[in-house]
């Protein structure tokens, strides 16, 4: 599978370069995000829109005086040529000519293309501006301005939907400015840059701590009931996607995202660091996904041989003569393979490197309702191959794949849904929107509302460790 140099798709909301030729990146993004019979039925409830019933004003039609803007026209053409399902997109020529006189720049083309995508049923399609694409690639490389903190996402009682509330600091990365300036795990963040923290979505809060909003972050926090004010500078640093520690004789490993170029390498390093552990708890909670290929490489660290995922992908083709390919990704005695069956027959590609199978000990994976897309691919690949069991709550339910096309002028790019995947056992996990089936854990465990994940109050982690019959993790909860 060919991979470009890009970095996250999204993060589970809508969402999450000039090149010489088209370069695609398969994503199983976020989270939350989406993802296909061997493939479960693909249903779209919205009816097909005719040109005269589109939910926007078409504006002045294209004419000799106002020809179709070439950048906007290319966006619209590629949306129709690449989208897995085009039934709800409408009349292509009418959309191409819409507002022709008012689209005068690349920025106008990006804005108008996104306005069109906002009217379609797929919440994961997006056009990236040059700046957004640069931020995207920088985040995927892990080298960006940030303070080195992860805030815990606030979820409802079922752990399915995000709710607005003050944030708990879940992780302070070693050597970060947050550590230097005294922010601690468990601190309650009540205000960010003078705004009530409950007014932020988790995604917006993390952006404020990272690439957006200036060179410093002002926090109002509570620690043991005592209010405090902190101002922390953002530094250019590598933000690691994987962390680990020992709990008794079990290694607890947290994978925060698969939207990082080195996530599989970092996971390999952590597994090698804790090679003497008697078992592993792999925490995918709040992991909204990322790169499709990286999730498969990470899975190869736990699986010797077997199918990892199957997908059905739209080939670039006209909607009235749509072409598709069925793909199977797996591991055999020769390494990682991608078996493609399409209009030209069947072929095998082995360009995606497998990693060594390092783990032959018990593995428990923790999921919740924000474990999405690439993290669901990873979890299902391990469980369906007998390499792990899953505990926690049902995952997000995004069984769709997005592709990023970067062959657009001036660093802009297009992300559209181009495929659906099923787990090795043949399950379709949902569309990431109205039909979210997710992965049902082997054991459902709910956390107490407000419990800090990774702490002694984390019921899901405690029960995962207890079930492995270890001693001396955490110690007894504080009274």
* pLDDT tens per residue across span 398-453: 999 999 998 888 899 999 999 999 999 999 999 998 899 999 999 999 998 888 99
DSSP labels, 226-277: EEEEEEEE-EEEE--SEEEEEETTEEEEEE--B-STTHHHHHHHHHHHTTT-
Give yes or no for residue 118 having a pLDDT over 60.
yes
Same domain as 441, residue 342: yes
Same domain assignment for residues 341 and 194: no
Mean pLDDT of 245-258: 95
Both tokens of 57, joined, read 């004003």
Which of 222, 238, 254 is the C-terminal boundary of a domain? 238
- Alpha carbons 441 and 453: distance in angstroms, whole number: 18
State pLDDT tens for residues 193-217: 999 999 999 989 998 998 777 899 9
For residue 191, the domain's CATH number is 2.30.42.10
* Total domains present in the chain: 2
What is the pLDDT at residue 370? 93
Residue 307 to residues 300, 342, 374, Cα–Cα distance (Å): 11, 19, 16
Q: What is the mean pLDDT of the chain?
A: 84
pLDDT of res. 27: 54
CA distances from 132 to 129, 265, 301 (A): 5, 26, 32
Bridge partners of 323?
315
16 in a structural domain: no
Report pLDDT for 63: 56
Q: Which of 211, 238, 265 is the last residue of a domain?
A: 238
In this structure, is residue 53 part of a structural domain? no
- pLDDT of 145: 84
Query: The domain spanning residue 254 has which CATH number?
Result: 3.90.226.10
Same domain, 329 and 439: yes
Alpha-carbon distance 324 to 312, whole Å? Answer: 7
Tens digit of each residue's pLDDT (9 = 90 or more) over 141-168: 877 888 999 999 999 888 888 999 999 9
Q: Which helix (H) or strand (E) holds 464?
A: helix 459-467
Q: Are residues 430 and 360 in the same domain?
A: yes
Q: Is residue 97 part of a domain?
A: no
Same domain, 296 and 231: no
Same domain, 232 and 258: no
Query: Residue 22: its pLDDT value, please?
Result: 33
> Is residue 344 one of the residues assigned to a domain?
yes
pLDDT digits (tens, 9 = 90+) for 294-307: 999 999 999 999 99
If asked whether residues 277 and 401 sit together in one domain, one would say yes
DSSP string, 325-392: EEEEEEEETTEEEEEEEETTEEEEE--SPP------S-EEEEE-TT--THHHHHHHHHHHTTS-EEEE
Q: Is the pLDDT of residue 61 over 70?
A: no
Alpha carbon distances (Å) from 382 to 318, 373, 401: 37, 14, 19
- Cα dist from 247 to 254, 278, 321, 357, 470, whole Å: 13, 11, 56, 23, 9
pLDDT at 230: 95
Both 329 and 463 in a single domain? yes
206: containing domain: 145-238
How much is the pLDDT for 450? 83
């Amino acid at each position: 599978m060919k991979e470009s140099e890009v970095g996250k798709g999204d993060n589970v909301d809508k969402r999450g370069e000039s090149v010489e030729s088209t370069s695609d990146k398969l994503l199983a993004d976020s989270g939350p995000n989406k993802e296909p019979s061997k493939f479960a039925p693909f249903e779209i409830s919205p009816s097909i829109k005719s040109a005269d019933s589109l939910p926007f004003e078409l504006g002045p039609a294209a004419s000799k005086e106002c020809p179709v803007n070439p950048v906007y026209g290319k966006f619209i053409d590629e949306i129709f040529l690449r989208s897995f399902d085009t039934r709800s997109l409408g009349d292509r020529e009418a959309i191409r000519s819409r507002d022709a006189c008012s689209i005068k720049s690349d920025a106008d083309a990006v804005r108008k293309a996104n306005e069109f995508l906002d009217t379609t049923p797929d919440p994961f399609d997006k056009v990236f501006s040059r700046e957004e694409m640069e931020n995207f690639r920088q985040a995927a490389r892990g080298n960006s301005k940030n303070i080195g903190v992860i805030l815990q996402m606030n979820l409802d009682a079922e752990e399915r939907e995000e709710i607005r509330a003050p944030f708990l600091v879940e992780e302070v990365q070693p050597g970060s400015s947050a550590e230097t300036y005294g922010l601690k795990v468990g601190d309650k963040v009540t205000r960010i840059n003078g705004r009530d923290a409950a007014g932020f979505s988790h995604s917006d809060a993390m952006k404020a701590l990272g690439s957006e909003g200036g060179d410093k972050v002002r926090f109002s926090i509570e620690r043991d009931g005592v209010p405090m004010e902190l101002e922390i500078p953002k530094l250019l640093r590598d933000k690691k996607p994987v962390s680990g520690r020992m709990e008794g004789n079990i290694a607890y490993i947290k994978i925060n995202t698969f939207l990082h170029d080195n996530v599989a390498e970092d996971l390999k390093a952590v597994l090698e660091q804790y090679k003497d552990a008697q078992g592993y708890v792999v925490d995918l909670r709040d992991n909204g996904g990322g790169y499709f290929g990286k999730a498969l490489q990470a899975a190869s660290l736990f699986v010797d041989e077997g199918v990892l995922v199957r997908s059905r992908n739209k080939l670039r083709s006209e909607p009235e003569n749509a072409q598709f390919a069925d793909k199977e990704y797996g591991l055999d005695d020769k390494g990682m393979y991608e078996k493609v069956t399409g209009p030209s027959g069947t072929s095998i590609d082995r360009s995606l490197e497998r990693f060594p199978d390092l783990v032959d000990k018990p593995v428990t994976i923790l999921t919740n309702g924000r474990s999405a897309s690439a993290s669901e691919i990873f979890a299902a690949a391990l469980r369906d191959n007998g390499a792990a069991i899953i505990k926690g709550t049902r995952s997000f339910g995004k069984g769709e794949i997005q592709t990023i096309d970067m062959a657009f002028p001036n660093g802009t790019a297009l992300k559209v849904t181009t495929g659906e995947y099923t787990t090795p056992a043949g399950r379709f996990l949902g569309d990431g929107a109205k039909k979210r089936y997710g992965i049902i854990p082997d054991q459902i465990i709910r956390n107490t509302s407000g419990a800090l994940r990774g702490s002694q109050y984390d019921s899901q982690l405690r029960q995962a460790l207890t079930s492995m019959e270890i001693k001396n993790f955490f110690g007894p909860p504080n009274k």
